[in-house]
C-alpha cells in the first residue's frame, strides 16, 4: 500500500491537484520488423550450389531447401510434397476444382493468372519462342521440346 501512495500522492487540497513525478520513460513504439535485405549494402546473396541470386536471406534459405531435397509441406489429399507453403496452396486448388481465371475468347479456365496469360497467346498471332534448330515459332516455351 505504501508503494501506491508513493506513486500517486494525495492532493495537497481539494482545489489543488497532486503533483505526480514522472520518472518512468517509455521506449519508442516498436517499429514493424523489416526483412533483412542484402541489397542495402549493394550486394546480393547467392546460392553456393547453383549461383542463383537473392535480395532477401529468407528467400535464399527457402531456395536452398530445393538442393537439400527437403519438402516440409505436403498435400493432405494426395501426399505430394513441396519446398514452399505457397506452392502447396496453389497445388491444393487442383483438388478444389476452383479455376478463377477464364479466357474471354474460348472460356478455358485456369488456376493461376499467369497461366491464363500464357494461354491467351494461342489466340493471337504472337509466337515469341523459336526453335534454334528448325526456326519454327511457338506461343509457349514448353513447346520447344
What are 81-133's pLDDT values in tens digits?
999 999 999 899 999 999 999 999 999 999 999 999 989 988 988 888 899 99
Q: What is the dihedral of CA 81, 82, 87, 91, to 10 degrees?
A: -10
Same-domain status, 49 and 83: yes
Same-domain status, 81 and 111: no
Q: What's residue 102's pLDDT?
A: 96
Q: What's residue 57's pLDDT?
A: 92
The CATH number linked to 63 is 3.30.160.60
Is 21 within a domain? no
Confidence grade of residue 9 (pLDDT, cut at 50, 70, 90): low
Q: Exposure pattern of 56-76 as b/e (b: 16+ CB <10 Å)?
A: eeebbeebbeeeeeeeebeee
Is 53 within a domain? yes
Side-chain half-sphere of 3: how many Cα atoms within 13 Å? Answer: 0
Same-domain status, 106 and 87: no
Is 55 within a domain? yes
Instruction: List, in sequence order, every beta strand (DSSP E) within the chain.
Output: 45-46, 53-54, 73-74, 81-82, 101-102, 109-110, 129-130, 137-138
pLDDT tens, 31-57?
Answer: 555 544 444 555 689 999 999 999 999
Give the CA diameter of the chain: 100
Domain count, the chain: 2
Q: Which domain holds residue 84?
A: 44-96
As a residue count, the chain comes to 145
Instruction: Name the domain boundary from 58, 79, 96.
Output: 96
Model pTM score: 0.52
Amino acid at each position: 500500500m505504501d508503494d501506491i501512495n508513493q506513486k500517486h500522492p494525495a492532493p495537497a487540497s481539494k482545489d489543488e491537484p497532486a503533483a505526480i513525478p514522472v520518472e518512468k520513460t517509455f521506449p519508442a513504439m516498436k517499429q514493424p520488423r523489416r526483412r533483412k535485405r542484402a541489397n542495402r549494402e549493394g550486394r546480393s546473396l547467392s546460392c553456393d550450389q547453383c549461383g542463383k541470386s537473392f535480395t532477401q536471406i529468407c528467400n535464399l534459405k527457402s531456395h536452398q531447401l530445393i538442393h537439400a531435397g527437403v519438402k516440409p509441406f505436403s498435400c493432405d489429399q494426395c501426399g505430394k510434397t513441396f519446398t514452399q507453403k505457397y506452392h502447396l496452396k496453389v497445388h491444393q486448388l487442383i483438388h478444389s476444382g476452383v479455376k478463377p481465371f477464364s479466357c474471354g475468347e474460348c472460356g478455358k479456365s485456369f488456376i493461376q493468372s499467369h497461366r491464363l496469360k500464357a494461354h491467351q497467346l494461342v489466340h493471337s498471332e504472337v509466337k515469341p519462342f523459336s526453335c534454334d534448330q528448325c526456326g519454327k515459332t511457338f506461343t509457349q516455351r514448353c513447346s520447344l521440346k
